[in-house]
Amino acid sequence: MKRLQAYKFELTPNGEQIRMMRKYAGNARKVWNLALDRQEKNHVAGRKFTSAFGMNCWIPEWKKEFPFLCESPAQTLQQVMENLAKGYEKFFKKTADHPVFKKKGKSADSFRFPDPKQFTIDQSNNRIKLPKLGWIRYRNSRAILGSPKNITVSAKAGKWFFSVQTECEVDQSLHPATSMVGIDVGIKRFVTMSDATYIEPLSTFRKHEVTLAKYQRRMSRKTKFSSNWKKAKARIQKIHNRIANVRNDFLHKATTTISKNHAIVCIENLQVGNMSRSAAGTSETPGRRVKAKSGLNKSILDQGWGEFRRQLEYKQSWLRGEVLAVAPHNTSRTCPSCGHVSAENRKTQAKFECTECGYENNADVVGAINILNRGIKMLEGQDTVDASTGCESTARIACEVNGAIMPSAAGTRRSDLADGYMPLPCAAGISVLSAQAVTVR
């Protein structure tokens, strides 16, 4: 099986190379804006959308009008047309917004070399050769596996990086684990699993919030676009970049740990964009409890639930595992023992106590158990979720994962592991006192 994978490294160019890369990125932005403007004018005039091949024919004309475009490698400008064509294609399919104009300082500076013949990577000497730039040193943190396909050079927070996409052949072995787990994401606990283990949240933005606000106040007192204003802006960008890097590192470690230890992962199909939407409302219909909702939105976005799911899905696909997204309604209000659904079951944010049968547990653990049960229903082929069936069910499920049949039974005992059954959590076998925090840092 062929796998496409990207490796990103930090470049250490000299002053002349930095100036040239800024120029290439600026020329790519200029061509993007020119092509987008012409496409919009053609649309107003009633003409059809021009393909990437047709847009490439516009570049010689623009090079005569703007001679500085000739300084960029031709492939980087042609790749801009490919990107714009793909942007329109996604817009027509209603999977993305309409392409917008790019502005210096607000859009990322980047350019791409799409042909592997255009660049050379010397891993032994920690350097890379790019057209018109020559050899550039880079911080070699790991080996690049596979054959390179293309390279993208980008700038972020005053530093330059290159990302190389490779294609390599991997074996189609089965997933190293044979277990199935349900995961409930939250704010007090970043991840709570159905086996009662959990991962503490990192809350990177909250830790840097005071420092960030201090430098934002300093920037607001300076004259806009002055030298001191630009220095203050660069400092703020550096803080934002550190927040993003720490969060991304945390998510990678968490998803790697989970994907390696579980063949099937059940998660909630959360609409994070809707959950973090502003409650301010309008002047005619102002919102209620806007400040509290704003704080909640900040905490939700600080956790990175969407990126957590994205990483989990592609890592499970690499290991030939599975990620099941189940309906999120009433997962923390349903009793996993008797199936009773009520808002009164959740006494506090953390405590769950069933008003029907008296079952007690941590609310997040209960949510993870119910997510797991709904994932089992999906594997059984049932479209609807039967809340009356708890984890005490004795029905065996034949789960086909990676071509291997892994029978399981809800409420399995530890002694059943030797018989090849997957352990599923039993309501009576999980206690809040037995929960353990998993450290992924």
Q: Which of 109, 184, 195, 313 is catalytic?
A: 184
CA distances from residue 222 to 176, 219, 225, 230, 389 in whole angstroms, order as listed: 57, 5, 9, 9, 63
d(CA 379, CA 433): 31
Q: How far is CA 376 from the centre of its chain?
A: 25
Cα dihedral 401, 402, 403, 406 in deg (nearest 10): -30
Classified as helix, coil or strand, 180 is strand
d(CA 225, CA 338): 64
Give yes or no: 364 in active site.
yes
Asked if 245 and 304 touch (Cβ cutoff 8 Å), the reply is: no
Asked if 432 and 361 touch (Cβ cutoff 8 Å), the reply is: yes
* Residue 394 token pair: 């004795």
At 304, give phi and psi (nearest 5°): 75, 45
Cα four-point dihedral sign 418, 365, 373, 173 = negative
**Which residue matches tokens 């050079």?**
153
At 127, give phi and psi (nearest 5°): -150, 160
Asked if 136 and 118 touch (Cβ cutoff 8 Å), the reply is: no
DSSP 396: E
Q: Which of 109, 302, 313, 364 is catalytic?
A: 364
Q: Output Rg (C-alpha) for the chain, integer angstroms.
A: 26
Instruction: Indicate the burial class of 165 (C-beta count within 10 angstroms; 0-12, 13-18, 19 or more).
Output: middle
Q: How many residues does the chain have?
A: 441
Q: Which of 109, 195, 268, 313 is catalytic?
A: 268
Spell out the residues 6+ positions from residue 221 whose beta carbon is closer than 8 angstroms to its own.
none
d(CA 267, CA 246): 23
Give yes or no: 249 in active site.
no
Give yes or no: 195 in active site.
no
The residues annotated as belonging to the active site are: 184, 268, 364
